[in-house]
Structure 1
């Protein structure tokens, strides 16, 4: 939904690992308050292998010091094929597909149960039925969307288009959303950011290279095709002018790395200043029509892009704006139109941009639709069936131990002065972990869902979600809201709330297995926990204090020491090039890379605390692997992933996470314990001299 935009400018506001809670306290001796796997083999069989790791997936012919990612995963990488309906495939995918099957079973059971109007059973069943009834979808043709297209065709002025921009359902050249106010996170504010492009990022319009030329040609052809499918003439000519318009918009858009700089995107403005910045958009009337008036200040993320887009808007002829709106309205609703629209959308966004060979089965896409928009309705059942209370208790213990380990590291950092250390420890002490599922579930009873109206269902869902946010705007910030349903395979940190969130979906093997060796749990979910904690102190998260407010709590000398280390890490990642001439952007991926490095450092310290408490500091050797070796192998196993080339190229442009090989090799080569565990020496390819290894946390 465009009006709930959190786009590239707000990536920093929700840092995910891809992407609750009574706290417990670690025991004084450093042991966990519940079992987190054993330091020995006195456990039941793990879900993966005997102790939590897939030994058969390794390539032991590779020296771990040359390519640790391949040493741990090489056989799996060689033997695994990306399913034809996916753009990439890895451990996250495997777990997500399992959760998807679990959710499908729940949806089908709820559908069969039936229920009164407004009941979970009725809503889930009818939404899924409306999605699956493709015969009715094709028979209706454009009937549902024709009134909206007619309204667009009737607009004959820039003022008319500015008014349409400010509606919940319409595409626009800017996006808005409601977020906690970074100046006072007990209240909400309105976010305004750049928008208006049909391809994933400005780089797809502006980058040089044959493949990008092909993307642009295919996008223009797709625009023309949608016009043809909708019965409009001169689709090719319309597509050419739309492409030219969007290219102009792309030229004023900020880059991804600019848009993740919290100091750059934090631009609070009262309405008169926002209105003066881009008078062509008539923000005063538009935001009022959305229910967003009366806000003290609006958070404008990319002022120059908003100003530039408004100028472009004013200079664009009305007939071009009309075509632009017609196309984006069609494009935004292809999944609720006759199947030929849906298939055309897949051909461009799926096959061309991501390299996916065929579209996913419709029933599975329907599961993801229902599991997304009614996520907490099916999520309650999912938690009851697939997330035992013991898992929650053990995760709480792991979080406690990771937090204690990081506290020790902060207390002993040589490059951090005492003034800054005090503030860092204060922030860490106020972290709020949320594990498994929310304390309160969303009530969907007011949402109208009809069995025979997919298009209307999706619009009413959009309105329902928007109205929920408008209600929030008037009151204090609700700290209990979750960014995704509990069946999600992800984890995240929200700096505005100082919350780390671990849904039930990710708390399964290979991330977390109650029967796995402790080294596996600490190297997998432990490092993920550390990753999310670390986001509170990465290059952007550190700009927020213990209350989630933007505040500089760093002394000048400590700030310089941090930046020096971060710059070295960024330079390392700049050299990683998975495609010829196309490399990781060390600045854009900085927060996630710091999260990975710090997370693994924290998890290793926590694992040593665990061993000190349970096993006199020693882990037994299992299948020839020491505890430290198993710890690092667990980290590498988590990041097993294959990419289609087009998907990888898109990720290099739009994803703040580095590709999986570098989330493994790029991290371990900076940790002294990895060198010791695997005997890595100077002639190994991943070797870094001690003085070049980055030690932040």
Structure 2
């Protein structure tokens, strides 16, 4: 069972914090809690501190080391994580706060509404004795049905029913705004079905044979998991080989992460009749009926993948389909089953693939499940206790200041024609900011949960959330919806709604502190605000207009000029070596790098405007350092992050964000303001030569 990710991913400031998650997307409720516990002590904040600076290093040569080197050396990745830094420290605080809420809800026998949902998930998930005693029973009916599949028609019907239950396999299907009419929701079918990070892991040996070794480990994992479910060892080995062959065929028909960044590869609208013709062994008309959807068409986003999927329905033996579907079911449900399933899943996906040494404590894993199943219900309780109204008011002011600074930069562009600039300004004027939490909460009426059935709760929520998702298709877009929960330490830009969104949990140090000096706030959350705004003008977001439609608003000459400038940024990041001779992929990370560069420049301008309004110059010292330097110190502090070697290698292939240490230096190295603040000279590593320096927005 694979979770359905957003089909056109919102452009976030950071990659997901957890190494491996299998739960479904979260939502919220209209009900309120009946009680709240006293606020407990939380883990420390990741606040910038001058004592962390390594003054033995030269800021103009190794800025990331100067700001973060001492901290990173003293803060290795904890055994239950694969990364550790500013984001993860805030995530620990968010989890500790969520734990106190969930424990109180679980302890309240009279809990109602969202409190009951959260309490039921947490209490049932912590009942390990009951979960282990249940063994395979929660998924035995699905395994029995898989064992009975004989024909392509049987398999097609099984897949339709699995999607209706919120447990879709092989591909993803969800509701998203129509690229050509962003006011309405349509269905999107998207490639999927792979257990390994991306297609290269199936088709290449990789550096030092790494991918080949991972494939071999994957086959062993599949065999062990099938044996955990009662399959004899010899048969399990054969089925494991069949699973790898099956997924390899899907991989050959799949697009790479770089190719998927192109919106043209994310949208391909067809009528139901056209789709049925493309996949004669899989009726989309019947699929829509099974999922309660009434629509004339949808986006069959990667036609080549779905054509191959249809051929596989026809020519892959039922026994091989059965092996694949068994593995998908068992691995997908493993976190909610007896320990032997969860432990085996962890051993491959987290330990072998990403270098995580230990599992998270049980309470964290159960919170992950609660977050994935009823996350906004938990968020409704979170904001009542942990998000002060004054933070939302201060953030609104900062957003306004950043918007004005961006407007000035757009108006003063010297490389863009008046016609294109007018469209850019139209897009600027229509930005919608969202801060903290949704203005209205989703209803959970009809979702029934229990204190004694963890897997049952997960399955019920999966079906409920899928039906809710399907109910959006064919209807106007609800602009009040959020794509992240309030307790998420992240932020995002959605090009289809032209909105920038800042959940409550990120509005803490080092990003935001109402009591901090302006330099720290503008270098932290100010740059994050600027980053999300600039996603509207990166290589992907710039292909969507002010109304959120996929529509070219550029003259050819302006687009060619933009591409020439961004090509230089691709080259800069291609040149960064991350680990063991492996380079950053400039094309994969381009959108985030554009947003970092533009966002930091916009934040700098807004910070300078704030200084002028306060009759200050930026050379006033706080804790012994000029405020101009403190602006860049906090930018780098945001990007202090350690990785396990294996996690870093996976991210180089799959993550649209460059490794954090390169984000700390990439944008500042292109800014004369940085060189001036630190007295850097031509030839210093942090000073790009004029012909290499990138200026876009």
Q: Same fold (TM over 0.5)?
A: yes
- The answer to whether the 8 Å contact 2:383/2:504 transfers is yes
Aligned mates of 1:128, 1:273 — CA distance in 2: 45
Aligned mates of 2:12, 2:559 — CA distance in 1: 21
Matching residue of 1:204: 201
**Superposition deviation, residue 182 in structure 1:** 1.4
- The answer to whether the 8 Å contact 2:13/2:528 transfers is no
**Which runs of structure 2 are paired with 1:90-105 in the superposition (5 Å)?**
90-105=85-100
SS at match of 1:483: coil
Matching residue of 2:674: 674
- The answer to whether the 8 Å contact 2:447/2:464 transfers is yes
Matching residue of 2:332: 332
1:276 aligns with 2:270: no
- The answer to whether the 8 Å contact 1:171/1:329 transfers is no
Q: CA RMSD in A?
A: 1.7
Aligned mates of 1:580, 1:122 — CA distance in 2: 49
**Superposition deviation, residue 545 in structure 1:** 0.7
Matching residue of 1:318: 318
- Residues 467-495 of structure 1: per-residue CA shift (max 9 Å, x gap): 11222224321111111211110000001
Q: Which has the higher contact order (CA 8 A, sep 6+)?
A: 1
Matching residue of 2:407: 407
Moved more, 266-275 or 521-530: 266-275
Of the candidates 127, 130, 133, which is equivalent to residue 139 of structure 1? 133
SS at match of 1:145: helix
Of the candidates 181, 192, 206, which is equivalent to residue 189 of structure 2? 192
**Superposition deviation, residue 460 in structure 1:** 0.6
Aligned mates of 1:387, 1:639 — CA distance in 2: 24
Matching residue of 1:620: 620
**Superposition deviation, residue 115 in structure 1:** 2.1
Of the candidates 170, 176, 184, which is equivalent to residue 173 of structure 1? 170
1:496 aligns with 2:491: no
Aligned mates of 1:667, 1:456 — CA distance in 2: 48
Aligned mates of 2:665, 2:517 — CA distance in 1: 23
- Residues 21-76 of structure 1: per-residue CA shift (max 9 Å, x gap): xxxxxxxxxxxxxxxxxxxxxxxxxx979xx5222222221111222111111100
- The answer to whether the 8 Å contact 1:611/1:619 transfers is no
- Residues 230-253 of structure 1: per-residue CA shift (max 9 Å, x gap): 111211111011111111211111
Matching residue of 1:122: 116
Aligned mates of 2:14, 2:85 — CA distance in 1: 14
**Superposition deviation, residue 314 in structure 1:** 2.3
Of the candidates 58, 67, 83, which is equivalent to residue 62 of structure 2? 67
Matching residue of 1:230: 229
- The answer to whether the 8 Å contact 2:291/2:467 transfers is no
**Superposition deviation, residue 651 in structure 1:** 0.7
Aligned mates of 1:131, 1:59 — CA distance in 2: 44
Aligned mates of 2:11, 2:601 — CA distance in 1: 22
Of the candidates 152, 155, 159, which is equivalent to residue 153 of structure 2? 159
SS at match of 2:582: coil
SS at match of 1:191: strand
SS at match of 2:622: coil
SS at match of 1:251: helix
Matching residue of 1:567: 567
**Superposition deviation, residue 688 in structure 1:** 1.5
1:76 aligns with 2:71: yes
1:456 aligns with 2:450: no
- The answer to whether the 8 Å contact 1:185/1:477 transfers is yes
Normalising by structure 1, what TM-score? 0.92
Of the candidates 105, 108, 111, which is equivalent to residue 113 of structure 1? 108
**Superposition deviation, residue 299 in structure 1:** 1.3
The 1:321–1:618 alpha-carbon spacing in structure 2 relative to 1, beyond 3 Å, is closer
**Superposition deviation, residue 680 in structure 1:** 1.8
The 1:335–1:372 alpha-carbon spacing in structure 2 relative to 1, beyond 3 Å, is same
- The answer to whether the 8 Å contact 1:91/1:638 transfers is yes
1:248 aligns with 2:249: yes
- The answer to whether the 8 Å contact 2:176/2:185 transfers is yes
Moved more, 148-157 or 103-112: 103-112
Aligned mates of 1:125, 1:266 — CA distance in 2: 40
**Superposition deviation, residue 614 in structure 1:** 1.1
Aligned mates of 2:297, 2:287 — CA distance in 1: 16
1:688 aligns with 2:685: no
SS at match of 2:472: helix
**Superposition deviation, residue 266 in structure 1:** 2.2
Aligned mates of 1:263, 1:492 — CA distance in 2: 21
Matching residue of 2:262: 261
Aligned mates of 2:375, 2:222 — CA distance in 1: 32
Aligned mates of 1:14, 1:635 — CA distance in 2: 19
- Residues 612-644 of structure 1: per-residue CA shift (max 9 Å, x gap): 111244451223322221111110000000000
Matching residue of 1:432: 432
Normalising by structure 2, what TM-score? 0.92
1:149 aligns with 2:149: no
Matching residue of 2:547: 547
1:309 aligns with 2:328: no
Q: Could you list the runs of 5+ residues in structure 1 that have no partner in the other structure?
A: 20-46
**Superposition deviation, residue 377 in structure 1:** 2.2
**Superposition deviation, residue 211 in structure 1:** 1.8
Matching residue of 1:31: none
SS at match of 2:439: coil
Aligned mates of 1:662, 1:576 — CA distance in 2: 7
- Residues 316-349 of structure 1: per-residue CA shift (max 9 Å, x gap): 1111111111111111100121110000000001
**Superposition deviation, residue 306 in structure 1:** 1.8
